[in-house]
Structure 1
């Protein structure tokens, strides 16, 4: 399976001779946020009566709040207009989900919003992801503002993207920004769908979108030992010091959850690492460390010292143990541990890079790097196109990805 050779030319409206037109206000004005049962019922009726795809976006308070819940949901549909919904007063938005269940949902970077939408009972049955579509079509810049400017000739301001959306009341300028995020999303979808069709990639996109829908319908996975993702933990040597990271991480997490505050605002990762390395035993030594000089951090000094003391008192058999690695070692160690596998990986990577370039899409969208590493480290016992295809499918590769890669990967896996 292969697509017609794509080109760098993009089908879409010609840009304005004077440059992109700033989009500063929704065409129908900025609606007031929906925050009552009656107002929500009216929106449900309106969107059920609309036509065509529905554009959906959500705003979170990442970096400010502990939870990743949505603090604003934006929708737009032909015949329905735009709605901004404040989800805080409602148990869920299941009634809205039912109203638009049968239509295609258009999102940008859907994987970012699907979990928080699912928490509200909003789960697409069909979707179109404009960011993913742009990647498959070979665009280098796939942000919403960049695509809207390149394909539709309008410029979007993104200066509120990192705002604290848990703020109440939300400023009018923020609401306008939020409404504009869905203003042209369906128009963008239509241009990108045309480009995918022109390149012969519409089936690829359909498989990717279906995989996103399936992923979004699953409960989120609980990450084991989340403290190991502390930034800078690679500098912490020894299991006793790692126990200090673990103790401080969980102490911080408990406070952050109770306050509904982002953990990094309670205590920076850099402070956890510094304390784990130096193991201060009194308040003076603790507060002398980087990251412990803020007033709110100082007020919690006793909690941090107690966590460090608890880690100090742990018996050896309660210290962290190296996690069981599910998969191959880091690639930089392959040449030493298994030179034959390292050579296989190099050949397989070359296949991916060459095939991605020929089809004008990022290598990571052609196949996940982890899938190639696993395939190269532990290839099938009997290498054939059938066994390689089955292995790739077992890693979650879609049919279009397998079809593009299986023949050359089979050759690459065999000894040269």
Structure 2
């Protein structure tokens, strides 16, 4: 009896399971993959009213490219349209969706986590003039969870299934259950935007959000220079502590990247980072250190996979190139950072900057807490690091100008300038 009562008490305390949003109200739309279907979709979206909910599906983890394999759009009076951009690619692989851009370019685009989807939208010629980022709105409001599913739960008491979020969207034909999933991602996005706008207005943060969204729209077509020495971001690199090991990582990473680009496969599907790092560590584990042999390569689990074995000759050739390098041709263990060094290194080498950092960082963290948001939404870590390491002339105009140069929005600068002027010591 006591045991049953305990079970009943526990069940009484459990929150009831939310109903599942498992199907669009208007049914699962057909995929737009013909010129005739695209023209109908464009006409419907152009005739619709209000903002346009926009989402994109890529094939991360499956393909090398970051292009979109599906676009979902929804607008009041137009319904939901699922567009296959691959069906409209020209010989260079660029989707020809000019009519779609013209139909919706003057509308506000609602995107969840815009920084993730904007690159592939722009790549396809779809560029917003105005947007509303529902994830960023949630961050400005200080919501504990800002994933789309979590925000749908909070605002509509519905559970949004996310079981196909990591699917291979390059697959054709797409299963109907995947299309259903894709349509649901924009089903309530317009309504979510409206509720978040109300919350932002009540919190006195709507103008802040408008500034953030305007910045995203303005800069979404900026050309981002390629990251230097991307191979240094290989997982497991922190275990590689010799120049020879670094060279092994560099050569194997480079040949893998070239193969992946040619095959349009995610690099990890050829051989995973962990296998490259493990082999590089072996290069330094012997005395004297040596370049791993073919046999040692075969002993690493990641290189035993079928996807890796078929390119064994490529891996061995990369190792042979390492063996031909002289000591001065080996990569250094560390490279100079872009901009100031990490603040953790300032205490010994840059004591004045360290003293400023120990004042400025806690102050901005406290301010962010008072504003009800994460510190990085008040000021980006890179901006704070740069202006603290090398402050401008200590006048309001100079500090404001430097923050603006670093990308801080007006609402951020309004709050940061007085704090920085107060905490930076006068020379």
Q: Hey, what does 2:314 align to over in structure 1?
A: 303
Aligned-pair Cα RMSD in Å = 1.7
Matched, 1:243 2:247: yes
Q: Deviations over 1:15-73 (max 9, x none)?
A: xx966331111011001111111111111111011000000000111111111111111
Q: Hey, what does 2:30 align to over in structure 1?
A: 32
TM-score normalised by length of structure 1: 0.92
Distance in 2 of aligned mates of 1:208 and 1:64: 32
- Aligned with 1:393 (options 379, 382, 404): 404
Alignment of 1:115-134 (within 5 A): 115-134=119-138
TM-score normalised by length of structure 2: 0.90
1:153 deviates by 2.1
Distance in 2 of aligned mates of 1:64 and 1:269: 15
| Corresponding residue SS for 1:127 | strand
1:276 deviates by 2.0
Distance in 2 of aligned mates of 1:100 and 1:146: 28
Matched, 1:366 2:378: yes
Equivalent residues of 2:271, 2:307 under 8 A apart:
no
Task: State the number of aligned residues.
Answer: 399
Equivalent residues of 1:351, 1:409 under 8 A apart:
no
Residues 346 and 288 from structure 1, CA distance in 2 versus in 1: closer, same or farther, beyond 3 angstroms? same
Matched, 1:331 2:331: no
Q: Which moved more, 1:73-82 or 1:299-308?
A: 299-308
Equivalent residues of 2:56, 2:117 under 8 A apart:
yes
Equivalent residues of 1:58, 1:73 under 8 A apart:
yes
Matched, 1:231 2:230: no
Distance in 1 of aligned mates of 2:99 and 2:223: 21
| Corresponding residue SS for 2:301 | coil
* Structure having greater relative contact order (Cα 8 Å, sep ≥ 6): 1
1:396 deviates by 0.8
Q: Which moved more, 1:187-196 or 1:332-341?
A: 332-341
| Corresponding residue SS for 2:73 | strand
* Structure 1 stretches lacking a partner, 5+ long: 1-16
Q: Deviations over 1:256-309 (max 9, x none)?
A: 112111001111111111222224543222111231121221222221111011
Equivalent residues of 2:57, 2:71 under 8 A apart:
yes
Matched, 1:109 2:113: yes
Q: Hey, what does 1:56 align to over in structure 2?
A: 54
Q: Which moved more, 1:32-41 or 1:290-299?
A: 290-299
1:314 deviates by 2.1
Distance in 2 of aligned mates of 1:263 and 1:281: 21
- Aligned with 2:361 (options 338, 349, 372): 349
Q: Hey, what does 1:222 align to over in structure 2?
A: 226
Distance in 1 of aligned mates of 2:229 and 2:34: 40
- Aligned with 1:289 (options 290, 293, 300): 300
Q: Deviations over 1:330-369 (max 9, x none)?
A: 2221112223321210211122111111111111000001
Alignment of 1:147-296 (within 5 A): 147-279=151-283, 281-296=292-307
- Aligned with 2:21 (options 9, 20, 23): 23
Q: Deviations over 1:216-269 (max 9, x none)?
A: 122343112111111121222232321221110111011111211100111111
State the 4+ residue runs in structure 1 displaced beyond 6 angstroms.
none
Equivalent residues of 1:137, 1:360 under 8 A apart:
yes
| Corresponding residue SS for 1:74 | strand
Residues 318 and 199 from structure 1, CA distance in 2 versus in 1: closer, same or farther, beyond 3 angstroms? same
1:319 deviates by 3.0
Q: Hey, what does 2:12 align to over in structure 1?
A: none
Distance in 2 of aligned mates of 1:323 and 1:37: 51
